[in-house]
Structures are given as C-alpha cells and as structure tokens.
Structure 1
Amino acid sequence: MIRYLRSTKSLTNTLALFFIGISVAIGVIAFCVFSLAIHWSEDRMGERRALLDRDIAVERFIAGEQGKITVDVLTDAYNDISLVPSDYREFIHQHEHYLGEVELKDKPTSRMVYKGAYTHNGKSYDIILLSRIDNVEFGLDEIIYSSLIVVALVTTLMCIFGTLLYRLSIQLIEPVNEIAEQLENHSGNSENEFTISTEAAVEFQTLTERLNQYRTDLNLALKREQAFARYASHELRTPLTVVKGAGKLLARTEQNDFSQRQIHRIDNATEQMITMVDALLSLVRYERNADNAPLREIPHNELHTIVADNSIQADEKDVTIKLNISSTPTVRATPPVMNMIIGNLIRNAIAATAKGEVTIDVSDTMLTITDDGPGLTNEPNLNGHGLGLLIVEDLSQRYQWQFRLRSHPDRGCIASIEF
C-alpha cells in the first residue's frame, strides 16, 4: 500500500483526492464563515439601530410622553418596566444594562432588547426598547439562496483549479509514467525509440531526446562489439591454430630434451591462449544476455581437466595440487569461461607458493583455492593482483557471483567464489 502511494502512477489520483478533500474543507469553512458573518452583521446592525432608537425615545420621554411609545414600525420604547410584556420583563429584571438579541423558548420570534437609563430633572428613569429584529433579518429562503451562491462559487473555483491541476499533471507526472513504462517495455531492445507527448514540459522533451541519443550510442556500441566478435574470432583463431599445428609437427621430429620442453611449453601456452580467446569472445557475445545462457552442472572431468591444464608451473616448482570435490555447482558460464576463471586462480596460487600445497575445494555453492604463500600484504597495490584477477572479478560480477580474496589464518591466501 505504501509503495502504491509512492508510485508516480498513483500520484495523479492521490493529488486529485487530496485536492477534493482540501476543496471540500475550504467550501465548508467558507460556508460557515459566510453564515457567521451574516448573523454577526445582523446582530451588529440591530444593536446600532437600538442605540439610535434609544436616543429618539429619550428625547420623546423628556418632551413629556410617558409609558409606552412607538418609535417606528419595529421598535417600542418603555420608561416603566411594569409595562413591558411579562415574558421579557422577567429577563430584563436580571440585568442592570443589556443590549442584545433575546430568543425565548416559548416564542417563535426573537427581539432586540435594550435596557438602560436616562436622567431628567435630576431623576433617573429606566428605558427599555423592544425591536422586532426578525422583520429585517434574513429569512430562511434568503439564507438558502445566498448559501447556494457561495456553494456555486466554490464549486466553480474547484472545477477551475481541478482543470489546472489536470493540465499540470499531464505536463509533470504523466511523462514520467510514460518514460518509465517505455523503459520497462523496451528493456533489452536497443532499436525502439522513446516517445513523449507534445504537451509535456520542455525538460521531459530534452530528457527523451537524450535517452534516444544514448540508446543510439548503445546500439552502435553493441554492433561494434558484435563485429569485433565476428572478426576477432577469425583473426585470433587462425594464427593460434597455425602455431598449434606447427608445434605438433615439431614434436614429431627428433629433438633433444631442451627442445622438447620448449615445444611442450609452446603447446601449453597455445592451449591457454585458445581458451582465453574463447572465453573473451564468449563475454562479448553474452555480456548483454548472460541470464539467458542455459544452466549446466560442471562435470568432474571438466574440473580435473582445468586443474591439469593449469598445473604445469606446479610440476616445475614441486608444488602439490589437491582437488577436493564434494559436489559440483550449477552455473550459466560456458566451459571456456570456467577454464579461464579457475585457471587464473590456480596459476596465481601456484605463483604465490614457493613450496607447499595448493588446495582446491569445490561444492555446489562455493569454490575455494588456498595456497601456502605469504598471503596478502597490508600495502596497497595500485596495479591490483594482475589482469587475471581483474578478469575473474569482472566475470563474477557478470554472473552475480561473490568473489573474495583474503589471507588464511594459518597458511597463505584464500581465493573464493560463492555461486
């Protein structure tokens, strides 16, 4: 659910829901403020009218009128509290001074009530005003009509802002979804171009153009790699085949021991070169679709052959090679690739071991090669551990293996690959 809310595909709906919620809240607040403002303005108008009517009534009482007088069609004034209607008389007795609208429980209408005092000939008199304020306040129909105007105005603004939000969504959010969908659909295909709506923002137009340019460059690079694989396969194999054939012809002739050893070394070096060429060409051929290579279980004889082909230096240095196979792993790498990976590690272990043993342990999940050399040093080596280990690390990353090189607590160095 959280991932869905964070997705740009749902961002438009999320923004729409958020905007609707905000709009409804603003509409309710605006309606409440409008209603309160109407009631407040009516009360203030009634109070000011009562104060004006008070001045008129005081003048008339001073002029000689007594009891109850009619100020106008809305307001009655009293200078004797006993003449006030009994319902309001009880309320007036509770206050010395009062100005406000009074609604009685038993009365369907309300009155603006004023109670105060005036002085005439040194004597103080009460003055009470009752004004039929309901006659000038908004009625129910008028309140509904004005409220409908407010609601219609808010709805119009919501439609305008919603349209603007939709337009902004098309320009800012939908292009992201379109590009993401095309990236997902065009994965592994370098021929299809990215497209974007003409209504999208300028930055998205530029991004689409750059993506198409990068895809074109990538396609050209892939074609160059494929051309290299085709041409290099012939150009590299041909001289190696000639060298291998010449070495076999020389081996048939009578040679002294020294020449025979040299011919044997040339033949082994040629085999290693052929294996490396096959592995490198395999990388060029499958580096973009390594996951599509078929799974295979490495047979025992392949492991023994790899160890035998890369143990020549061990025989010359009197280093023992020990191969322990508990179970064999299942990998996508081809035999030349496995030969280059394991062969590099074996040759490095032999080169690091002056005397002793190189142990090779193979299981279905791990391959470890332990030597009796000096181990890893603490001083950094800017050149790494040679081209072979760089190739091994690159191949391990390509097939999603974990390659590690560390010192052994009792022996030399451990090179491990976790499949």
Structure 2
Amino acid sequence: MKQIRTSKQLTVTYFSIVAFAIIAFHFSMLESMIEDMESVYAETRMDKDIATATALFQGTNLTHVAVPPFSNAYLGKKNLPAWVVLESDISNDKPYHLAPSSETKIEYFSMLSKVMINGKLRDLYLIHHDAIYESSEEKMFDTQTTQLFMSLLLLIISLWVVMRISNRLTKPLSNLSKNLESRSPENFSPISLPDGAATREIHQLVDRLNSYQNQIRSLVERERAFNRNASHELRTPLMVMRGALTLLNKSDSKEFMERQRTRMVKACQEMEDYITTLLSLTRDEDTDSMSTRVINEAELALICEAHREYQPNEFVELKVSSQGSVKTKLPVPTLHILVGNLVKNALACTDKGQVLVVMEDNLIKIIDSGCGLEGKPTGESYGLGLMIVRDICTKYHCEFTLLNNEEVGCTATVRFPPERKA
C-alpha cells in the first residue's frame, strides 16, 4: 500500500525542490553572466589591441609584436608559438578560448582578424590574457560564494517559517481528525471548532460536517421512528383482524360474517395507510413537485367516522365543522393518518363532552374537552400518535401546535403552508 505523506512531509519535499531549483538557477545565471562579461570584455579589448598591432606591423617585416599590457600579435598561423592550439571552427573577429590541448594552464583568448599590412591582406592572430581580470573573476566567485551561503541561510530561515505556518494551518485539521476519531457512532452532537488558528476553510469544513451529520441523524431518527411507530400503530388493525377471524369461527350468520369482513377490510386499509405513510417519512421526496388538492368537509367526516369505533367513551360527541378550505400536498393516506391520530388522541383524553374537528382557511383544529396536557389520557397511543403527527408536519412543512384551552381540554392545530404562486 502506498504510504500517504503528511502535510509537513509534503511541505519539506516541495520546499526542498524549490530551494534546489533556486540554487541551481542562481549558479547557472552566475556562470553565464561571468562568461558573457568575460567574452564582451575580451572582445572589446582585443579589437583595440588588433588596431594597435596593425599600426605596429606597418612598415616592418616583423611577424610578432607585443601589445602591452595583455596581448601578443602574430602574422600568419605558422608564426604562432608551439604551445598555442586553436579551435578548428573559429570565425573572424570573434574571441575564442584556446583548445584544451594547448600546453598551458592559463586561460587565453585568441582572435583571428583579416588586416591590410604593407599593402597585403594578412591573417593577424591575437593571443590575449588578462591576469587582472582573472583575479577579479576569482574575487567575484568568492563574493558570490558568500552570497550563496547567505541565500542558503535565508532558505533555511524561510523553511522554518514555512514549517511554522504549515503547523499552524494543519494543527486544526489534525485536532479535528482526532475529535472525529474519538466520537462514537451514536454521537450526533455538533462538532466544535478545533483549537488553533482556524481559517475560513476550517469553519466551512466544520459547518459542512455538521450539516452532513444532521442529515445522517435525521435519517437515523426517521428509521427509528418508523420501527417504533410501525410496531405500535400496526398492532391495532392486526388485533382487529385477529379478533374478527376468531369470531368468524363462532357463527354462521351471513350478516355477522359480513360485519366481520367489513371490519377486516377497514383494518387492512388502515394498515395499508399506516405502512404507506411511515415509509414515506423515511424517504426523501420532492414535496414541491407534488400536486395540490382541496380538503372538503366530507373527507374530514369520513376520517372521523373511521375512528368512531375506537371511541372509548360513549358520552363523548364527535363533530365536524367547516369554516373555510384547506389546500394541501399531503397524500390522502397521509392526511388520514395525520387527522386520525389527532382525533384518536383527543378521544382518548376526553371522558365526557365533545371532540370538535374544525376546518378553517389553511388550518385544521381538533378541540376537545378532556383532561388537557397535564392530565393522563386513557389511550396508550397518545404520545406515539403525536410523534407521527409531528413527523408528518415536518416533512410537509406544516406547523403543529398543541395548547391547553382556557377552561378544559386542549386544542391541536395543524397549519398548512400557503400555496406558492408560480
């Protein structure tokens, strides 16, 4: 498996590469600059010395003259000293170093020039050596070496600064990683900002992690709610079906059997509605793309009628009143579960009096005259029923409130979101 490097290792590696590149570039530029300066200086000086040598050769038969202080001039290649070996590809009026095979350790320049001497065109060879420039060149190298050591020292200091900066930038990430590693899978509490110089990117990362964690927590809670609600809410229709099947074995009356069949059909429909609703709460759906429909009084009356048989007390009156209209995107089974649970809870909390289901513009109220929020309901499904209601309201952006009445009982209100205009 390929080893993953840390940020510090990558910083040292990349900085070393850059430092090496800077040093190599510095050396190459220095050498190129000195070579160019030497060539320019030698060419300028040798042009002047060739003019001087040409004047010295005029009117004489000399083949060699000295051009103080650094040059010697020779007429014709055969008159060059034996230790001088020229390069094979020299051009006129250009300075060249002597060939490596020359018998000298001193750096000489040579230049060939065509000059008119005593009325004849002759090849004049100038051999040039500037001891003062060579000495100056060595001093320049010494100076550059000092500058190089200063540059290396500056690079070392820069590396230390970069490492400090890298440590300050990566330490919050390291602390964040340790924090995440120490958290248990069940811990969905918000992730705090790590200690250190947290940058804007660290803040954004923590915000995204918390947002992602909230999504995971929401999914887990919905899964748990589904298991909890399904195990409880499906129990009642199953008991109805089991009871009806038991009763079918005790009578052969067609009327009795039809009544039990009707009970089982209702129980199956109720079970199907619960399963559809609970499964929809665990899925991510685009509620904005759902079509809008209108809830009428007849639909509310049908929901209430389906729950009359769960009415624990015969002295409680269940009534429906319509004072407005409601437009919603809730599917029919989901709406039946929503209103049905509120009705069932209101009936479970009321020993006498009435439960009134009121529909107004964009809201539905279930008003009871029962024990109120501080009392103890007679039905087991009170708490779980409200949890399902809250889950449905959260998913479909409805507002749910449950408040005590001024005298007795309480009022559950579901406010539906207004229809958006296109």
| TM-score between the two structures when normalised by the length of structure 1 | 0.47
